[in-house]
Structure 1
Amino acid sequence: MESSIQLFLEPTTWVALATLIAMEVVLGIDNLIFISILTNKLPESQRERARRIGISLALILRLGLLGTVAWIVQLTEPVIEVFGNAFSWKDMVLIAGGLFLLWKATKEIHHSVDPTPGGDMFEGKPIERGAALGFSAAIGQILLLDLVFSVDSIITAVGMTSHIEIMVIAVIVAVAAMLVAANPLANFINQNPTVVMLALGFLLMIGMTLIAEGFGAHVPKGYVYAAMAFSAGVEVLNMFARRAKQKQQVP
């Protein structure tokens, strides 16, 4: 107890905490975008519940991983070599998560562009495929990506500080921010169809980044988030332009 009090009396502790919180919040954006898109596929009555469960699972996973820091550090050690390239468990988790994101985002983009692939008909009516998603399936997919993002998040935290107390506080604050932002972000995406395609494009980029990281190609996160911020800024300008045009058309 006294050591913890002494720890938080040092100015460097607060600097490390603020930096780690900012980093964890930024890393949580990827997770939140996926949860928002996926839960919007559910019936409206189930969406908020699914978001809360998904984000709660993210918190449980992160805190659980923090309890096994020694094991987490070992995840970065090579365990297999393929064609002269060494891969650790972390690499394989990132590659698997990246491939899943690519598959999921591509599938959703395809459905958005062609909701009735092949013109399939039943009793003279087009069949709409891919629109429905079961609650359990949604939670399962969220859990899978929670695991991927949690491993990346905790390994990042371990690399920034050696104090468990700081990591726990940063993770709780970051997940709390995700919980607060979940519904507004999901509603915004749902109410603006063009933003859905932009968010799916973000997931494609995040998926490719995870795969690149898994193969040992370091991609500076600043570049990724700068590209996302620029694209989001352009879309905001487009939204203002559309609204201005609609107002001019109103007699």
Structure 2
Amino acid sequence: MQEIMMLVQDPAAWVALVTLVVMEVVLGIDNLIFISILTNKLPPESREKARKIGIGLALIMRLALLGTVAWIVKLTTPVFEVFGQSFSWKDMILIAGGLFLLWKATKEIHHTVDPAEQANDAAANAGTTTFAAAIGQILVLDLVFSVDSIITAVGMTPYLSIMVIAVVAAVTVMLVAATPLANFIEKNPTIVMLALGFLMMIGTTLIAQGMGFEVPKGYVYAAMAFSALVEGLNMLARNAKKRKREATKETLH
């Protein structure tokens, strides 16, 4: 309690908290995109439940990892070396997560562009095993993003209370934004392809980080923001053309 009172009176602690909350929210976007795309493949009555479970697991996993900060720090210790390149447990987790994202995004793109696959998926998605599989895949990615998130938090502040507040705030934002984002993605097919492209880029970035190549996150998110802006302009143009066609039809009638 005394530590919390000291932090409340420390301007530097407030700056660290705000910065960390922003960082955690940004890192959570990757997790949220994956959850949105995956749960949209479930029957409508199961989607909301799957999102809440997935995001709840993300919060539990992050808080559990925060309780083992000393162990988390050790994940960055090299375990073995290949051709002069050292690999830690963190590196291996990032590489495995990146490969999983690339595989999943590629598979979803294939299903999206192949009508026959879409029909098969619609039939397959009706079973309860699909719900269990979705939660399992969300859990795998939650682990990858949680490790990355907590290691980022540990590197930014030594105070556990600030880390906990930042993580809870970020996951709360994810929980609030999950359904609107998923509904927006579902109603706009072109956004699905854009989001899958984001997942492929994120997967490639995770693999590069695991291999020892530092990829500035600012560049990655700037590219994502630019792509989203271009797609937003395209959507506005398509809606304007649609309204123009409807107005023309009404005039002719």
- Report how far residue 129 of structure 1 moved: 3.0
Q: Deviations over 1:69-107 (max 9, x none)?
A: 000000001001122211000000000000000000000
Instruction: Give me the whole-angstrom Cα distance separating, in 2, the residues matched to 1:3 and 1:84.
Output: 43
Instruction: Give me the whole-angstrom Cα distance separating, in 1, the residues matched to 2:183 and 2:116.
Output: 25
- Report how far residue 4 of structure 1 moved: 1.9
For 1:70, the equivalent position in structure 2 comes to 70
Matched position secondary structure for 2:81: strand
Matched position secondary structure for 1:53: helix
Instruction: Give me the whole-angstrom Cα distance separating, in 2, the residues matched to 1:104 and 1:42.
Output: 15
- Report how far residue 199 of structure 1 moved: 0.2
Matched position secondary structure for 1:205: helix
The aligned amino acid for 1:130 is D
Instruction: Give me the whole-angstrom Cα distance separating, in 1, the residues matched to 2:147 and 2:160.
Output: 15
Instruction: Give me the whole-angstrom Cα distance separating, in 2, the residues matched to 1:128 and 1:95.
Output: 32
For 1:79, the equivalent position in structure 2 comes to 79
For 2:212, the equivalent position in structure 1 comes to 216
The aligned amino acid for 1:195 is I
Structural mapping, 1:114-133, within 5 Å: 114-116=114-116, 128-131=119-122, 132-133=124-125
Choose from 161, 183, 189 the match for 1:187.
183
% same residue: 73
Structural mapping, 1:154-233, within 5 Å: 154-233=150-229
- Report how far residue 8 of structure 1 moved: 1.6
The aligned amino acid for 1:99 is L
In 2, are the aligned partners of 1:73 and 1:155 still within 8 Å (CA)? Answer: yes
The aligned amino acid for 2:242 is Q
1:105 matched to 2:122: no
For 2:145, the equivalent position in structure 1 comes to 149
Give me the TM-score of the superposition, normalised by structure 1.
Answer: 0.94
Give me the TM-score of the superposition, normalised by structure 2.
Answer: 0.94
- Report how far residue 111 of structure 1 moved: 0.7
Q: Deviations over 1:131-185 (max 9, x none)?
A: 4441000000000000000000000000000000000000000000000000000
- Report how far residue 248 of structure 1 moved: 1.3
Which range moved further: 107-116 or 38-47?
107-116
- Report how far residue 196 of structure 1 moved: 0.3
Matched position secondary structure for 1:130: helix
Which range moved further: 68-77 or 78-87?
78-87
For 2:34, the equivalent position in structure 1 comes to 34
Choose from 188, 211, 234 the match for 2:230.
234
In 2, are the aligned partners of 1:20 and 1:167 still within 8 Å (CA)? Answer: yes
The aligned amino acid for 1:81 is E
In 1, are the aligned partners of 2:40 and 2:186 still within 8 Å (CA)? Answer: yes
- Report how far residue 56 of structure 1 moved: 0.3
Structure 2 segments unaligned to the other structure (5+ residues): none
In 2, are the aligned partners of 1:111 and 1:129 still within 8 Å (CA)? Answer: no
1:50 matched to 2:41: no
In 1, are the aligned partners of 2:66 and 2:150 still within 8 Å (CA)? Answer: yes
Instruction: Give me the whole-angstrom Cα distance separating, in 2, the residues matched to 1:58 and 1:28.
Output: 10
The aligned amino acid for 1:19 is T
Matched position secondary structure for 2:31: helix
Task: Identify, as 1 or 2, the structure richer in helix.
Answer: 2
